[in-house]
Chain A
Amino acid sequence: MATEAAQIDVHAHDDHHDHHEQSFIEKYIFSTDHKTIAKQFLITGIFWAIIGAAMSAIFRLQLGFPEADLGWLRPLLGRWITETGQLDQEFYLALVTMHGTIMVFFVLTAGLSGTFSNFLIPLQIGARDMASGFMNMLSYWFFFVSGVLMFISLFLETGPASGGWVVYPPLSAIQTAMPGSGMGMTLWLIAMVFFIASSLLGGINYITTVINLRTKGMTFSRLPLTIWAFFLTAVIGVLSFPVLFAAALLLVFDRSFGTSFYLSEIYIQGEALSNVGGSPILYQHLFWFLGHPEVYIVLLPALGITSEIIATNSRKPIFGYKAMIVSMLGITFLSFIVWAHHMFVSGLNPFLGSIFMFLTLIIAVPSAVKVFNYLTTLWKGNIVFTPAMLFSIGLVSVFISGGITGIFLGNSAIDIQLHDTYFVVAHFHLVMGAASAFGLLAGVYHWFPKMFGRMMDAKLGYIHFWLTFIGIYSVFFPMHYIGIAGFPRRYYSFTNFDAFSGFTDLNQFISIAAIATFIGQFIFLFNFFYSMYRGRKAPANPWKSNTLEWTTPRNPGHGNWEGEIPHVYRWPYDYSKPGAEDDFIPQTVPFSETMDSNLPHENDLIALEKEQAEEIVVDESAGH
């Protein structure tokens, strides 16, 4: 087939790749094909999502049913279950820490960006592959090594890192601070170094590909919003991950070489440590300079995926395409100048606090613009409720309810009461956790046909959606009340304080909802793996979408298009255009073929198209 493809190829150059049988290893393991690498990221992300979610189910058991006998978990957790059948207190902290680390970095950064940036960037901009397939492969395998190290740390006798996913010193800097601060923390740091390298390799590749390898006619104003989102995500990553690297490096020096960047005047059992002159606040500044942009690294790809899916399934052009781009640019810029709102109660100068509060609240503006545009795109559309569409609408919903509480938390005065309570947990799980996870799931449902050439089962998708949607709200909505009441996050027990014993019922409800939601995800897993082999075969363009990936063969090989790369003549959102034959016009259709539906300024572009077509003919004759 490939040799045929080479023959029909009008650009038959001498330097093309001859078809050769790839070995299994070349094809599926050390592949440089962006589509295979995307699937590797997705499968690894799913693996980590199961572990991360299972951890939350276990610590929710402890929080909801502190008296219950968890002895039946001993085969899995061994000595982490105490003799009386309770969860070990140190292990509880480890679980919370690893849940956060895994979900933020491995699932919602690598699993989301890694999957969809890799898969969609070349396919939607019309490129054969990433700018550097080798770097892309390296990016996955660095991530894999990082994952292996983190996985090993779960099985250490002293447990994995336990100081919270933010690993603040001194808990993370003094090896004897808590069991997890020893080997577990060391492995955490090494794993993160690999992870940062992986993210940077990926990000550099994404940016280069979007800038250098767009097909003819694919101007920035014709890019699908998914690509805009992935592009800006990569920009944020390239600017912020090196700072985390710097922070982690100084932490390594403090831990292993005895420097005092973050440590000062600490007494352990009456003995003073030798570290003098450091500042733990310095770590917080460095960490949150990555940490806050990281929120948008997680969120923007989900928002981009949602834009695409909502426009396609509303059969309407996206409302405010330019406003969407400008608001994403705004979010990108603002994400770097709000980090200190995580540190309002760290002794930050209150005047500085009010500046960061002001900057933080400004983010509400671009976010609200995006929400408004999603809703107006849906307005009076011929909505097709595919599972992907449901998850996208679900994303808009959780993004609103989680975003509103962000306005409370952004206030430095209110933050004094709410800081480090379950209110914060509820806020970020809705606006960043659930929203991004919904984006990830929506993306999988939407692009599964392109990834595996088969359709996922829609009915199971609907069941999965409603379970997840109702589950997510049941878990996180009540948490706001517990947070307002002042219960701090990361605490092992609710029942030690009289003030909080009134919330036992609510906590049981949350735990039951969380575990039910977790179990509900197995419907998705079954659907995913079953459909991969047994699903209905996918048509070429199942969602009647405009973007370029649907012009490839059902199972595209390495190189994506058999013949010439298609040219692009229009933006990707010509849905339900008045006068058009169909309710969608793919990006590859020239204006000269759609005379009935063209707007006046588009008719002017026809002359330009003809010029371009002539140029190509000239190029071809020059090439032979």
Chain B
Amino acid sequence: MVEDYKLVDVPVEQPLSMHPKKFALWLFIVTVVMIFAAFTSAHIVRQADGNWLVYDIPPMLWITSGIILTSSIFMQWAYIAAKRDKLEQVKLALSITTILGLVFLYGQFQAWGQLVDAGVFFVGNPAGSFMYVFTGIHAAHLISGVIYLLYMLISSFKYKVHAKNMLNMDMCTTYWHFLGGLWIYLFIFLLLNH
């Protein structure tokens, strides 16, 4: 008795102009925001209790922050280029964004090294542990962003990213900007509260 009817409808009227997939991405972003809201508020609550190790932010994080901001600029360039059907530029800009993403991850890892050199370890006073948790969990999300970028990069070399196929490009751009913005938030938070 169970069979497929027509599954694809051309909607007569879209209740919301945003594509459902992009809307779902925004909801996913909300969940990530909530995770970091929980971490940062835990950080504030714990810090208020006292017995808190004060240490210097690894200088590497300034550089990685710059890298992630630059990568967002290239991402935006790729997006605009795709919209204008300049496919060679899309490939170039996406490649640079991906490489910058990987460099950022490497930089974060170096920052951990600087922390260890400074005597701040994952195990020990929660002040240091929080630092590792923020950077680590953010890096985990950033890896998912890099995977998405690689997927877009492959699509772009198959000429599947162009003005008439912008949904994934649009979503990838949104996600990448979000990940950059999230890092900047975490970085400023750490600067103010370390």
Contact = CB atoms under 8 A, between A and B. Distances in A.
Contacts of B31: 200, 204, 238, 241-242
Interface stretch (B44-52, B89-97, B171-179): B44-52
B3 A19 contact: yes
Interface in A548-589: 555, 557-562, 565
A253 B24 contact: no
A489 interface: no
A616 B12 CA distance: 7
A17 B123 contact: no
Given A132-B24, A200-B31, A2 B3 contact: yes
B6 A17 contact: yes
Interface string B19-40: 0110110011011101101110
Interface string A593-619: 000000000000000000000011001
A132 B24 CA distance: 9
A17 B129 contact: no
B38 A243 contact: yes
A537 interface: no
Contacts of B14: 212
Contact of A239 (B6, B34, B51, B133): B34
A11 B42 contact: no
Contacts of A282: 42, 45-46
A13 B8 contact: yes
A502 interface: no
B5 A132 contact: no
Interface in A1-38: 1-2, 5-6, 9, 11, 13, 15-17, 19-20, 22, 27, 33, 36
A12 to B, nearest CB: 9
Nearest to B14: A212
B38 A289 contact: yes
A243 B35 contact: yes
B2 A27 contact: yes
Contacts of B7: 16-17, 128-129, 558-559
Contacts of B12: 216, 615-616, 619
Given A13-B10, A211-B23, A241-B31, A277 B51 contact: yes
B137 interface: yes
Contacts of A208: 20, 23-24, 27
Nearest to B123: A258
Contacts of A5: 5-6
A246 B38 contact: yes
A557 B21 contact: no
A214 interface: yes
A276 interface: yes
A272 B45 CA distance: 25
Contacts of A279: 45-46, 49
A247 interface: yes
Contact of A205 (B24, B123, B133): B24
Nearest to A278: B126
A238 B51 contact: no
B29 to A, nearest CB: 10
A426 B166 CA distance: 55
Interface string B118-160: 0000111110010001000100000000000000000000000
A211 B34 contact: no
B27 A243 contact: no
Contact of A207 (B1, B27, B39): B27
Contacts of A195: none
Given A131-B24, A205-B24, A565 B35 contact: no
B2 A557 contact: yes
B117 interface: no
B42 A250 contact: yes
Contact of A2 (B5, B32, B38): B5
A15 B7 CA distance: 9
Contact of B5 (A261, A558, A619): A558
Given A214-B15, A289-B38, A11 B10 contact: yes
B18 interface: yes
B5 A15 contact: no
Given A200-B31, A259-B126, A277-B125, A558 B4 contact: yes
A339 to B, nearest CB: 12
Interface string B40-77: 00100110010110000000000000000000000000
B20 A213 contact: yes
B16 interface: yes
Interface in A185-227: 200, 203-205, 207-209, 211-214, 216, 218
B30 A238 contact: yes
A557 B24 contact: no
Given A200-B28, A260-B124, 16 more contacts: A11-B6, A16-B7, A17-B4, A22-B3, A128-B7, A207-B27, A212-B23, A242-B35, A243-B34, A243-B35, A245-B35, A246-B39, A259-B122, A279-B46, A286-B38, A558-B5
Interface of A: 1-2, 5-6, 9, 11, 13, 15-17, 19-20, 22, 27, 33, 36, 128-129, 131-132, 135, 200, 203-205, 207-209, 211-214, 216, 218, 238-243, 245-247, 249-250, 253, 257-261, 274, 276-279, 282, 285-286, 289, 453, 555, 557-562, 565, 615-616, 619, 623
11 contacts: A2-B3, A128-B7, A208-B20, A211-B23, A212-B18, A213-B15, A216-B13, A242-B31, A242-B32, A246-B35, A557-B3
